[in-house]
Amino acid sequence: MTESFRVFCVPMFARTADAAWYNWLGERLKARKKFAMESYTVVELQPGAEKATINDSVMALKSAIGSDRGLLARTAIIGHSLGAQVALRTLAELPEGSKIDGLLCIAGWLKLDMRTKAIGAWLDTPFDEKRAASNANRILNVVSGSDANQINAIGVQDEWKERLGAETKIVSTPGHFSDPESEDALDAALTFFGK
């Protein structure tokens, strides 16, 4: 029998669980039944969607996923934009060998073409990228060829491969994946975790 996944989703900056496609994705994954899913939890940015700090947001995700290695092995994380940063930084703080099954990043970034003051600390504060990568069995970043935050999708693909050993999938649309329903996020999750 295939073990079931615990799926955790971390939103982008200024979005809550009820915004964008986060709750919609959980419902669609349950309905499709392409992989066994024990639970689906949206872990919101802390202390608030528009005031997210590295420490508070990482602590919230660490608390949600826990430290039990057996449970971590059945853990899937989906991080959207800033949520991908939260996920990577959380993996970097787990003990070595505490591997999750997979990290799916939607519009994940390591740097941005359009920098804003609100996320400056996230861009300026390094984390242990090698440890983050080693604590996930696999990492996939889905980026758009039409995202104003990351104009050069091929450059993003090369950077993620070099720095994290991650695979990147480039889709032609939809910008920063901010619509209420994201078929690209759904398709990526079904394919990535349904293997």
Give tens-digit pLDDT for 87-111: 999 999 999 889 999 999 999 999 9
Q: What is the pTM of this model?
A: 0.95
DSSP letters for 126-169: ---HHHHHHTBS-EEEEEETT-TTS--HHHHHHHHHHHH--EEE
How do residues 51-92 score in pLDDT, each as one tens digit? 999 999 999 999 999 999 999 999 999 999 999 999 999 999
Expressed as residue numbers, the domain containing 123 is 5-193
Looking up residue 157, the CATH number of its domain turns out to be 3.40.50.1820
pLDDT at site 113: 83
* pLDDT classification of 1: cutoffs 50, 70, 90: very low
Phi-psi region of 181 (alpha: psi -120 to 50; beta: other; left: phi over 0): beta
Q: What are phi and psi of 146, to 5 degrees?
A: -130, 35
Stretch 15-33: mean pLDDT: 93
Contact of 98 with 67, CB cutoff 8 Å: yes
Give me the mean pLDDT over the 159-163 stretch: 97
Structural domains of the chain, count: 1
More confident residue, 116 or 84: 84
